Amino acid sequence: MALPFKNTNLYILLVVLVAGIALGGCTLSQTDSTDDTSSEDSSSKVTVIGDNQNDSENSDSSSDSSAAQSDNDAILPADDSNTANVDNDTTTSDADSDTDTDTDTDSDTDIITDTGAEPAKVTELDGTKSIDGATAEEGASVNGYEYEVVDGSLVFKWTVKGSEAKPYPSVTAGFDADNNLVVEFPDIVKDYVAKEADEMEMGGELLPKLAWESTDSSSMYTFKFGTEKTFTLKTEQDDDKSYLILSVEL
């Protein structure tokens, strides 16, 4: 085959030039491919960074939410509730104080009741002593007796009952024409001592005989001294019991 070029060297140079141009195109194509791949990897990294940013925003949102919740907690009226409890306690304390005041009032009432137990007034007329006390209609009665000698005097004590206003029954005491000391309960429901007429020795040389008798509404005690003596009549209360006390100098 005959070459179109008469100069062989020129032909070889042309072949080398064409081959070089072809090789350069392949290299440029390879470089573009590499750049595209790098661009894709870079884009992927940007996307990842974007996801982290969203997470950061979510984190910030959560922080803001927590901060808002904290602010809400601070607004809750916890302290007001405690203050209300303190106020209530103060009110209760005041109520207790009022209760103590009422107790003092009750104590004053008790004192008034005790004042009603003053000794009955004894009046004397013509040597006869008397007490204006309760009557049979008010529940007056004689329930028992005891006696003793104290400092040269006979002390004779009746246990009696009357009304709330008059704890003692009406009674009179005085010497009769025979110089006997007569004590009479003129208006009583019953005398549990003198329910049957009787007479007894009181004992000793100085003590007289004692006689008693009763009717349906009265009773009478006669101390047979035979001589007139000085005597007193008084009332007394002890342990919710009422006493009528006759003292006679021996």
8 has pLDDT over 60: yes
Q: pLDDT tens digits for 153-177?
A: 999 999 999 999 999 999 999 999 9
**How sure is the predictor about 7, in pLDDT bands with cuts at 50, 70 and 90?**
low
pTM equals 0.54
Report percent pLDDT > 90 for the chain: 49
Domain boundaries, the chain: 122-249
pLDDT at position 4 is: 52
Residues in Cβ contact with 207 at an 8 Å cutoff, skipping those fewer than 6 apart: 149, 154, 201, 250
105 has pLDDT over 70: no
87 has pLDDT over 50: no
**How sure is the predictor about 239, in pLDDT bands with cuts at 50, 70 and 90?**
confident
At the top level of CATH, the class of 122-249 is mainly beta
Per the CB < 8 A criterion, the answer to whether 233 and 246 are in contact is yes
Better-scored residue on pLDDT, 208 or 109: 208
Across the range 197-226, mean pLDDT stands at 95
Count the alpha carbons within 13 Å of 208 in the hemisphere toward its beta carbon: 23
What token pair was written down for 47? 């996307």
202 has pLDDT over 60: yes
Better-scored residue on pLDDT, 74 or 189: 189
- Of 159, 157, 156, 155, nearest to 143 by C-alpha is 159
The whole-angstrom separation of Cα 34 and Cα 102 is 104
Q: What is the largest CA-CA distance in the chain?
A: 206
What token pair was written down for 194? 């003198």
Chain-centre distance for alpha carbon 116 = 32
Across the range 75-100, mean pLDDT stands at 40
pLDDT at position 11 is: 63
Per the CB < 8 A criterion, the answer to whether 236 and 247 are in contact is no
The count of other CB atoms within 10 Å of the CB of residue 233 is 21
- The DSSP output letter for 121 is P
